[in-house]
Amino acid sequence: MASRFLKPLNLKGSLSKQAPPSEKAASLDDTERDERGYRVLKGKDRFDVTVGAFLSDKTNDEGRKRSTRIAYLEGIRGILGLQTLIWIFLRIFAPATVTDRDLDGKYPAVFTENQRSYEIVRKVLSPLLFDGSLQMTMFIILSGRVILQTFVERREAIALAGPAFRRPFRMVIPSAIALALVSVVAVLDGFKHAPYLSETLKNQIAQPPKIWGSTLEYFNSMITFFFAPEQIKTSRAVAFIPPAGISWYLEVVFQQVYVLIIYAFTLPYTIFRYKNLGSIAMILITAWVGKWSWYTLTGLVIAEYSVVYKQILPAKGLPIDRKGKKHVPVWLFPTLFTLLGIFFKYLWISILPEKRDAELVAHVNGNTGKLNHNFNSTKYAYPRYDDWLLSMGILMLIEISGKARGFLSWKPFVHLGRLSFSIALISGTIMLSLGSLIFHHLSSNLGWSINTIVGVEFLILIPLCLVSAEIFSRVVDDASLFIAKVLFNFARN
């Protein structure tokens, strides 16, 4: 048994070549598989190491095409992308519907005094639909859920090497082009009317980005954008992509793949009991110290349990005693997570907004060794318990619900998932440039009311941003995926 854990990873082949005898037998054609094509563990194998491949199809070993991505996960990404698009629009043109704090952290923000009618929208709809924080959290956890999906299925070394190699090309190229587009718009005075928009709405986030002072400043900003040890909302690159201060989550998604690879490597070689204990311990520890790996490890653990163990869940539910006679429904814990998340979201946004950062105290401060008092959430992005509880609960409920997965696999949702990255990169630029021009004309020249202008802007800008994201996705995003795959193949030959 001990030798099974000590054998090194064969980088030229598959982890399945080191499988124990029971798993070698499972490679035969008569292996029982679930409706997804995953191997079903039997007998003692359910509690043993899980070195053998769970999917026989080798198609995705060198990287997934868009057509082979898991549909319902792309559907989740699509809904998040649409929510992000609406949030960006509201944050620029109707900020009081989504927040009561300004970009510099001022509470209550001045714009809330001028947009009292929007307060009910913020308190009723914003906590779950477009508060910004929840959407970024879901994106981060979802990245942990999908980035190593092929490795979880195949247990192949190449499925770890691939994401590590391709990630910089896949993310840096679109981000660099997005920053260059903002620069071009700024040089051409495309943000000419943004100060008028900002002053009229008393909204700091509508201020135009400050143009680069030099090429070196642009280059250094790109480097720190992806490799800074902390997610700084006010960093040069994050503040440059409109609306300022939201693109920090791309740093997390980029960096965390390298954290996940280390932990993912241990999963096939760990028996069920210690996999449970280790996963819970890692999530709790990273949560306590306030690291983003808390979120991405959660996503990876969901992926592991979905592929390896979901198909062997007892029909009666989860056993809660040693004899296996008492059970609780599988949906119970995800539902509790979801309800707790909903409760805290409404507590901090609708009931006690002035105390919204109070939950950040419940982490350790690495500098003092005490609780995390006086954290500057205006400058730094920080993981939150309410977002994690709600995201965790929703994702787990989706994993165990066939109807939910079927609904999320609807083609329009899946297609929106393709656009989500592009939406985050370029929508704010379009809205702040063209949107401010339209706002100035309708307000200054025609004297329309703010509410009417916001409605017109919504009807114009949302479809335009979707079309633009489609173009950017096909021209830039697809090109980055292609380049990343070509370079990975080149490096191996």
* All structural domains of the chain with their residue ranges: 2-491
Compute CA distances 220 → 217, 223, 236, 339, whole Å.
5, 5, 9, 43
pLDDT: which is higher, 224 or 2: 224
For 106-132, b/e burial (b = at least 16 CB within 10 A) is eeebebbebbeebeebbbeebbbebbb
What is the arithmetic mean of pLDDT over 23-44? Answer: 75
Q: pLDDT tens-digit profile of 455-483?
A: 999 999 999 999 999 999 999 999 999 99
Q: Are the C-beta atoms of 208 and 194 separated by less than 8 Å? A: yes
Q: CB neighbours (10 Å) of residue 362?
A: 12
Banded model confidence at residue 30, pLDDT cuts 50, 70, 90: low
DSSP 54-104: S----TTTT---GGGS-HHHHHHHHHHHHHHHHHHHHHHH-GGGT-SS-TT
Using DSSP's 3-state secondary structure scheme, residue 156 falls into strand
Tell me the two tokens of residue 472.
């950017």
183 closest CA partner among 175, 457, 467, 197: 175
pLDDT at 111 over 80: yes
Q: pLDDT tens-digit profile of 195-254?
A: 999 999 999 999 999 888 888 888 888 888 888 888 888 888 888 999 988 889 999 999
Tell me the two tokens of residue 305.
């349990």
| pTM score above 0.95 | no
Q: pLDDT tens-digit profile of 288-338?
A: 999 999 999 999 999 999 999 998 888 788 877 777 778 889 999 999 999
pLDDT the model gives residue 15: 44
pLDDT the model gives residue 378: 86
Tell me the two tokens of residue 310.
């979901």
Q: Which residues contact 441 (CB under 8 A, 6 or more apart)?
A: none
Residue 362 phi/psi, 5-degree rounding, is: -80, 45
Q: In whole angstroms, how large is the CA radius of gyration of the chain?
A: 24
Determine if residue 334 is left, alpha or beta; phi over 0 gives left, psi from -120 to 50 gives alpha, anything else beta: alpha
What is the arithmetic mean of pLDDT over 27-39? Answer: 78
Max Cα–Cα distance, the chain, nearest Å: 80
Q: Is the dihedral of CA 73, 76, 82, 85 positive or negative?
A: negative
Angle (CA) 447-451-454 rounded to 5° is: 95
Q: Are the C-beta atoms of 423 and 90 separated by less than 8 Å? A: no
The two beta strands, 327-328 and 318-319, are: antiparallel
